[in-house]
Amino acid sequence: MNAAHIIDVTRAQLFALVRRPAAWTIVAAMIVLNQVFSFVIPYLSYRSADPSGFDAGATPEELLAGTLPAQIVTNTLGGFPVFAGALALALGALVLGSEYGWRTFKTIVTQRPARLSVLAGQMLAVFTFIAGTVVVLFAMSALTSTVVALSEGESAALPSVGHLAAGYAGGTLVLSTWAGIGAALAIVLRSVALPVGLGIVWALGIENLLSAMARTVLSALEPMRDVLPGVNAGSLVAALTPERIGSSAPGVAETVSGGRAVTTLLAYVVVAAVVAAWCHRRRDVA
């Protein structure tokens, strides 16, 4: 692999990615879901006569406190283990899988960079886009929570820089893990639709099923549950948001320690990259 070639590919891929409507549709979906579930519904519940409808047992004061700037790490990361993760998986599959559908891989790999440099550059572009997306999600959370705080006369103080940085890094790792899995599936299956379908069924269905079974009827499944990507993403988010008020978002639970979750998620990124590289290097390009 050649570092200069990897940077060339990353620049080219980012140039194309930021002009791709589908990528912004995914980012928009993440923003909308985050805003609706972290701010709009809690705030409307707080303003309504029956606040218990949204979060049973939470007082109006707790609902309002949960939407303030002090909670932006919790509110931004809350959806990452499940819905944002699934969308990141779709993004990774979309970026790499489309190259097969449009047959643009042949255009890319006949320019100059070697195949592994091409793959490294493409993955780096996806992770860079994810990192930018997490910045946007934090910014939107900060904006909305500040508006709520100012309109309700509450404190608009943000968490410490250290807490924000840890939240940002953790969130980027969670989404990068899912995006890396999506990209690897796209390369293995050489398509977009199948990896997106399989990935989302896994992220939203099978993981929850396995977790529930391990928790309730089959404790022998616990070791397997503890290495699942969604479970580790939820554990990392739980570790990064000790200040959360009320019940946790779906998928956020301290099943394993934060340190172990980071290690497991990084391992998923590495395994995804190795599997993708192995397939990408040995296969003919149609």
Shortest Å distance, C-beta 249 to another protein: 34
Shortest Å distance, C-beta 175 to another protein: 23
Q: Which stretch binds another protein (CB under 8 A): 72-80, 102-110, 187-195, 271-279?
A: 102-110
Show contacts with another protein in window 159-198 (CB under 8 A): none
Nearer to another protein, 4 or 28 (CB): 4
Tokens of 101: 């559908």
Number of residues that bind another protein (CB under 8 A): 28
CB 257 within 8 A of CB 232: no
Show contacts with another protein in window 8-47 (CB under 8 A): 8-9, 11-12, 15-16, 19-21
**Of the residues 110, 151, 160, 216, which one makes contact with another protein according to CB under 8 A:** 110
Q: Does 85 bind another protein (CB under 8 A)?
A: no
CB 71 within 8 A of CB 164: no
Shortest Å distance, C-beta 132 to another protein: 18
Nearer to another protein, 12 or 166 (CB): 12
Show contacts with another protein in window 194-223 (CB under 8 A): none
Distance between CA atoms of 235 and 265, rounded to whole angstroms? 11
Identify the CA nearest to 173 among candidates 245, 252, 270: 270
Nearer to another protein, 14 or 82 (CB): 14
To which residue do tokens 């040995």 refer?
282
Show contacts with another protein in window 220-259 (CB under 8 A): none
To which residue do tokens 């980071």 refer?
262
Q: Does 111 bind another protein (CB under 8 A)?
A: yes
Q: Does 3 bind another protein (CB under 8 A)?
A: no
Identify the CA nearest to 233 among candidates 268, 198, 205: 268
Using CB under 8 A as the criterion, what x/- string covers residues 117-156 for binding another protein? x---------------------------------------
Shortest Å distance, C-beta 118 to another protein: 8
Cα radius of gyration rounded to whole Å, the chain: 20
Residue 45 DSSP code: H
In this structure, which amino acid lies at residue 48?
Answer: S
Nearer to another protein, 2 or 208 (CB): 2
Task: End-to-end CA distance of the chain: give it in Å, rounded.
Answer: 22
Our measurement of the distance from residue 262's CA atom to the centroid of its chain's CA atoms, rounded to an integer in Å, reads: 14
**Of the residues 28, 48, 103, 201, which one makes contact with another protein according to CB under 8 A:** 103
Q: What is the largest CA-CA distance in the chain?
A: 64
Q: Is 233 exposed, middle or buried (0-12, 13-18, 19+ CB in 10 A)?
A: buried
Identify the CA nearest to 28 among candidates 168, 98, 181, 133: 133
Binding interface with another protein (CB under 8 A): 2, 4-5, 8-9, 11-12, 15-16, 19-21, 102-104, 106-114, 117, 282, 284-285
